[in-house]
Structure 1
Amino acid sequence: MYSVPGQSLQSVTDNGSTTTNRVGIGNVYLSPGNTEHAGYIEFYKGGVQNSRLGYIGYDNSNVTYSAEQGNHTFYGNLVANNKVGIGAAPLAPLDVSGDMILRNYQNIKGGGSSILFTPYGDDYPHSASIRSYLDYAEGVNSRVRLVLSSFWAGKNQDELTLIGGSVGIGTKLPDEKLTVYGNIHAQGVRVDLNVPYADYVFNEDYQLPALSDLRCYISQHHHLPEIPSAQQVAKDGINLGEMNVKLLQKIEELTLYLIEKDEQLKREHQSNETLIKRLDAIEKQISNY
């Protein structure tokens, strides 16, 4: 029992008569003579029409399952190019309007696939205003990466990439556990050091470089000893933890230089005081003659 556009086929009832009216089989009702909706199977419960399965004309040649109470409130479409829509006319292989819950799933597999997030009403896939996507793709050297990116007018604006246990922000190729292409704003940063802290400068056996040697080194290399040059920093960057230790080392060395100079100035001051007293005594002796 079925219908085609413009034609209604007759059905044989249980008493041998023919009809184009609705036919009921238990709780399943067939509507063969309905040219308005082009043919479907209706399901009733308690005398109330609950759902339909079939070809409904106003859904543009889609095979439709519809749950309804009077007006259509929920429907899923299976169209000719294998797209399924739940609550919406599908624009992608699976188009869901509303929330989703996955229960007791084992694995979701697939390489080179993406989950796209677009503004409501955008004409995917023709829209250039895709806001963000979650992408599972093969990375460099066959490593799998997970990319979360915002997208605007054909350009990836911001990206968060997980690959090989590393995280990249603004880059798909992190070369450390965390690689950030751009600035970082934080209220605090804690760094665990794998090098000795700089307080060894205050040990009694620490060899403080002579200022004359330091002057020669600076004249030749144009930077402090044990501190990378501008060219090295431009090429390799700096390790914040190690650099802070080195800077503290130089500050502590400078403190020792200042203490040494202060003691030297005190000695010179005392020597000057002694010379002044001797000079005053000589002047008094001369004035008495």
Structure 2
Amino acid sequence: MTFNNTDDNWQYVQFKRSGFRKAWFGLYSTSNDFYFAKEDGGKFRFLNADVVLSNGKLGIGTTLPSSPLQVSSNANRTLRLDFTNASNNSTYTWVSLNANSTEQWRVVGRDDDSAKFEIWNKNGDDVFTLSQSGHATIEGDAIIKGNLESKKVKVTASPGSFPDYVFSENYELKTLAEVEAFINKNGHLPNMPTAKEVEVNGQDLGLIQQKLLEKIEELTLYIIELKNQNIAQQKVIDSMLDKMN
């Protein structure tokens, strides 16, 4: 069957009921676009398949789509994206999330040896990466509104920040009298955040661990100093006892 309508730019087939057109399909020759159109309500349905186009919403597996695209299935695999011309280590499968025709996020499945899952921001930066082994990398800060459970937490330290500097000859260790005066005046240990600061800003685990170790090393020095004083005092006591005997 050939349609060659020379009256206008359309070649189409239409379906009428009671003299009114209900649906039609045809070719718009100017743009070479092919149209399917439904008029006066109703839905597009595909026989023996739950595929419906209604009011600009496409439903697959459902006859009542509530979003522009809704896919429903009782199978384990609901949606599959497969790039069949992938070149190892150079291509990827991705889904673009746009607002006002501008890409805001890109969800990426890598086609390389590691087959990583990535999320890119609108600048093309990889802000989240998940490897097949479960190793996750987040570029930037992460806020978890809930509990965090882990078998191990590793906090890196910048050079020179770990408190072995306490044992340096140049370290200015406060006397116990100075520490006591500071506590009486400020209500907390020197070089430690206040309770109010922690309540407002939270704790930097790496920094607080360093500060706690700093205080432990200072305590060790105080204990050593007190031990030496006790030894010296014991020698004086022993000398006095010898003279008395």
**Fold conserved (TM > 0.5)?**
yes
Contact persistence 2:121–2:127 (CA under 8 A): yes
Contact persistence 2:163–2:214 (CA under 8 A): yes
Q: Unpaired segments of 5 or more residues in structure 2? A: 1-13, 24-35, 84-92, 107-119, 129-139
Deviation at 1:182, TM superposition (A): 3.0
> In the alignment, is residue 64 of structure 1 matched against residue 45 of structure 2?
yes
Deviation at 1:204, TM superposition (A): 2.5
- Name the CA distance, whole Å, in 1 between partners of 2:212 and 2:97: 50
> In the alignment, is residue 76 of structure 1 matched against residue 48 of structure 2?
no
> In the alignment, is residue 203 of structure 1 matched against residue 168 of structure 2?
yes
Considering only aligned residues, what root-mean-square deviation do their CA atoms show, in Å?
3.9
Deviation at 1:109, TM superposition (A): 4.7
**Equivalent position of 1:185 in the other structure:** 149
Aligned partner (choices 162, 168, 180) of residue 215 of structure 1: 180
Structure number, greater radius of gyration? 1
**Equivalent position of 2:226 in the other structure:** 261
Deviation at 1:276, TM superposition (A): 1.7
**Equivalent position of 1:87 in the other structure:** 61
**How many residues in Structure 1 have an aligned counterpart in Structure 2?**
175
**Equivalent position of 1:110 in the other structure:** 98
Q: How do residues 2-81 of structure 1 correspond to structure 2 at under 5 angstroms?
A: 4=17, 61-66=42-47, 72=48, 74-79=49-54, 81=55
Aligned partner (choices 273, 276, 279) of residue 238 of structure 2: 273
> In the alignment, is residue 243 of structure 1 matched against residue 208 of structure 2?
yes
Deviation at 1:259, TM superposition (A): 0.7
Contact persistence 1:85–1:96 (CA under 8 A): yes
- Name the CA distance, whole Å, in 1 between partners of 2:240 and 2:223: 25
- Name the CA distance, whole Å, in 1 between partners of 2:167 and 2:156: 22
Deviation at 1:189, TM superposition (A): 0.8
Contact persistence 2:52–2:63 (CA under 8 A): yes
**Equivalent position of 1:34 in the other structure:** none
Deviation at 1:96, TM superposition (A): 1.9
Deviation at 1:264, TM superposition (A): 1.0
Contact persistence 2:182–2:189 (CA under 8 A): yes
**Equivalent position of 1:131 in the other structure:** none
When residues 83 and 236 of structure 1 are mapped into structure 2, their CA distance, relative to the original with a 3 A threshold, is closer
